[in-house]
Amino acid sequence: MIDLRSDTVTKPSQAMREAMLSAPVGDDVYGDDPSANALEERVAALFGFEAGLFTPTGSLANQLAIRQLVKPGEELITETFSHIVRAELGAGAAFSGITTRTWEAPRGLLKASDPLRIARPDSGPYQVSTVAIAVENTHNFGGGTVQSIDEIRTLRTESQKLGLTMHLDGARIWNAHVASGISFLEYGKYFDTVSVCFSKGLGAPVGSMMLSNKERTSSARVWRKRYGAGMRQIGMLAAAANFALDNNIARLEEDHRHAQSLASAVHAVVPTVVNPADVETNIVVLDLSGAYVTAPEINAQLKAAGVLASPLGPTTLRLVTHLDVSAEQIAQVNTILPGLVASAFKA
């Protein structure tokens, strides 16, 4: 099977496993794990923050961050298809009493004017007050799109005037950096909290991190324990993340090329399904509107031919490239997928 369901399916390489085996460890709840402590310092410095907190998942890193910015009954605004509101199962409401409102943006692309249009800070006793904005970069369901740094800058300047804070869901900020050439420090500069993941394109088996100032990170450490995610000898997991940072960032460019190749092959048979110019990183979203078969049906046909993808709805199919998919496998997918798409549009 060629598995293009997600970049979360990657398995740790032999070299990563060896780095994990030899990692110094200690009890992290006591603050004694040298590998976790070093990783938190490393990633915080990379993005220009005072402190970092290792978490088992990106969802937890997001949730710990937003509960630092938003009090119960207050409002976080974000894009309609962002992971925080679509795929974290209402965690912000369930655990932190956070209410959300969303703006919709084609391909998830941020325009500063969208959040600024719907933000309602200091709404007094009759309406909920907006206090924070979350931005996802790259935007997963938007098709791995890279957010414009100019829009981020403008949003930061204008939202600060309104007293709002900003959170970055940077699960795939590594891909954004490789595609745009913009430094992690620059990306970090415009946000109060950031989450990053090591377990997606970077290929670690587990691990994410929340970044912020010392005060918010200490508070998040208490909440992480309260949520039952205070962990012990996590140095082995930190070593995997550390290995991923050393070895697996620059190679993301290869995943981006593979995604381009898939998009171009499909575009060549049915141009409306995907525009290769819209594929900026490692995620290809196929728009099957107007086809005679649904995305789940094409997905089943692909599966029968040895390729796994993810239907995101009745007319949307997502393919994600990653470090466990070779150029040969992409070439093989290109002998199968375009034909299936072409047939899907024939009456």
Ligand X SMILES: Cc1ncc(COP(=O)(O)O)c(C=O)c1O
Q: Which residue has the tokens 């970069």?
A: 137
Q: Which is nearer to ligand X, 125 or 228 (CB)?
A: 228
Least distance in Å: CB of 167 to ligand X? 11
Q: Which is nearer to ligand X, 136 or 338 (CB)?
A: 136
Q: Which is nearer to ligand X, 207 or 338 (CB)?
A: 207
- Binding to ligand X (CB under 6 A): which residues in 290-319? none
Least distance in Å: CB of 37 to ligand X? 21
Cβ-closest position to ligand X: 58
Q: Which is nearer to ligand X, 114 or 169 (CB)?
A: 169
The encoded tokens of residue 252 equal 């993301």
Q: Which is nearer to ligand X, 83 or 221 (CB)?
A: 83
| Residue count (the chain) | 347
Instruction: Build a one-symbol-per-residue string for 37-76: x at contacts with ligand X by CB under 6 A, - elsewhere.
Output: --------------------xxx--x--------------
What letter would DSSP give residue 167?
Answer: E
Q: Which residue has the tokens 């995610």?
A: 229
Nearest CA among 6, 10, 4 for reference residue 203 = 10
- Binding to ligand X (CB under 6 A): which residues in 109-148? 136, 140
Q: How far apart are CA 249 and CA 190, in angstroms?
A: 22
Q: Which is nearer to ligand X, 140 or 321 (CB)?
A: 140
Least distance in Å: CB of 83 to ligand X? 4
Instruction: Build a one-symbol-per-residue string for 18-37: x at contacts with ligand X by CB under 6 A, - elsewhere.
Output: --------------------
The encoded tokens of residue 266 equal 């499909």
The encoded tokens of residue 130 equal 């907006």
Burial (CB count within 10 angstroms: exposed 0-12, middle 13-18, buried 19+), residue 72:
exposed
- Binding to ligand X (CB under 6 A): which residues in 150-169? 169
Q: Which is nearer to ligand X, 155 or 283 (CB)?
A: 283
Instruction: Build a one-symbol-per-residue string for 169-188: x at contacts with ligand X by CB under 6 A, - elsewhere.
Output: x-x-----------------
Using rule CB under 6 A, residue 322 touches ligand X: no
Q: Which is nearer to ligand X, 55 or 299 (CB)?
A: 55
Q: Number of residues interacting with ligand X: please give it, by CB under 6 A.
A: 13
Least distance in Å: CB of 169 to ligand X? 5
Q: Which residue has the tokens 């006591």?
A: 30
What letter would DSSP give residue 82?
Answer: -
In sequence order, which residues have a C-beta less than 8 Å from that of residue 214 and are 6 or more positions away?
50, 51
How many CA atoms are closer than 13 Å to the CA of 100, on its beta-carbon side? 25
Instruction: Give the CA dihedral 340, 265, 315, 294, nearest 10 degrees.
Output: 0
Q: From residue 244, give the alpha-carbon distance in Å to each of 22, 204, 327.
A: 15, 6, 21
Q: Which is nearer to ligand X, 115 or 143 (CB)?
A: 143
Least distance in Å: CB of 86 to ligand X? 9
**DSSP letter for each residue of 281-338:** SSEEEEE-TT-SS-HHHHHHHHHHTTEE-EEEETTEEEEE--TTS-HHHHHHHTTTHH
Instruction: Build a one-symbol-per-residue string for 189-228: x at contacts with ligand X by CB under 6 A, - elsewhere.
Output: --------x-x--------x--------------------
Instruction: Build a one-symbol-per-residue string for 70-109: x at contacts with ligand X by CB under 6 A, - elsewhere.
Output: -------------x--------------------------
Least distance in Å: CB of 272 to ligand X? 26
H-assigned helices in the chain: 14-21, 34-47, 58-69, 83-86, 91-96, 113-118, 149-161, 173-180, 184-189, 214-226, 235-247, 252-269, 295-304, 327-333, 337-344
- Binding to ligand X (CB under 6 A): which residues in 260-289? none
Residues contributing to the site for ligand X (CB under 6 A): 8, 57-59, 62, 83, 136, 140, 169, 171, 197, 199, 208
